[in-house]
Amino acid sequence: MINLSPLLVGAALSIMAIAAAPAAAAQPPKTVVLVHGAFADGSSWSRVIPLLEAKGLRVVAVQNPLSSLAADADATKRAIDMAPGPVILVGHSWGGVVITQAGVDDKVKALVYVAAFALPKGMSVNSASAGAPPQPWLKELQPDSAGYVRLSDDAVGKFFAQDLSPEEIAVVAATQGPTFGGAFDDKLSEAAYETKPSWFVVAKQDGMIPPPVEEAMAAAIKAKVTEIDGSHVVMLSQPQAVADVIIAAADSVK
């Protein structure tokens, strides 16, 4: 008669050893941190967020105070700090200045500029624009007594979001974040794109930042460029096209 006891004991020990073996550590999810620009808030990313989440990306939209470059960079750094893993940092318009400053964090693995400013270290939006013909939307700024400015509702429809429906334009105008005018004089002390790979969405119908200026900035930082036929808020009018660029940047992060 065959004694099965040693075989059963050996099998049981093998099963116990497998069960006791530590499981492979799960990779932390990639986080896309979305940084809005001036005259906007985090809702400007509302159409892109579900497209990114559908690809398994963790998404956080920063709410910038729009009071200074330092304050906005701090708000963005808090979102980076809270991310459990690698970060893809995305900036729209003024948000491009913010990600250039805050993106030097080691967690940040890629930068995406969406119709955004990508400026050299030591420059501000105003100093970079010095000598250029003034943009017509500048006449549409409405200041308050504390130095914060907003775009007139007419300017939102004419220069900022002209490819949205009237109802959508009204929402963009109503939710815009007033921006402290002095922030546009704040100079960059960092240039994250010097050490991080960059992507750039050029909005071909942008009425706020001239498309040739966007193209020049993208070339200066050696970004991978995608041209999209959309307004300054191209992430609202062409969300899938913008999401595709962000997803490509995320896919590059291993």
Position 62 pLDDT exceeds 70: yes
Confidence at 26, pLDDT banded by 50, 70, 90: confident
Which token pair is 205? 């119908």
> Model pTM?
0.90
Q: How many domains does the chain have?
A: 1
The answer as to whether 169 is a domain residue is no
Sign of CA dihedral 234, 239, 241, 247: positive
Q: Are 57 and 82 in contact (CB under 8 A)?
A: no
**Higher pLDDT residue, 35 or 4?**
35
Instruction: From 166, 173, 162, 151, select the one nearest 43 (Cα to Cα).
Output: 173
**Helices (H), ranges, the chain:** 5-20, 49-53, 69-82, 95-102, 125-129, 153-155, 166-175, 211-220, 234-237, 239-251
CATH number at residue 240: 3.40.50.1820
Number of helices (H) and strands (E), helices first, in the chain?
Answer: 10, 9
The mean pLDDT of 138-167, rounded to a whole number, is 98
Range of the domain at 88: 31-132+183-251
The answer to whether position 165 is within a domain reads no
How high is the pLDDT of residue 24? 56
Q: Is the pLDDT of residue 13 over 90?
A: no
Given a contact cutoff of 8 angstroms between Cβ atoms, the answer to whether 122 and 74 are in contact is no
The answer to whether position 70 is within a domain reads: yes
In a domain, 67, yes or no: yes
pLDDT at residue 11, as a whole number: 45
Task: Measure Cα distances from 58 to 21, 76, 125 in Å.
Answer: 29, 15, 30
Determine, yes or no, domain membership for 49.
Answer: yes
In a domain, 144, yes or no: no
How far apart, in Å, are the Cα atoms of 69 and each of 114, 143, 157, 186, 190?
18, 19, 26, 6, 11
- Residue 62 covered by a domain: yes
Q: Is residue 2 part of a domain?
A: no
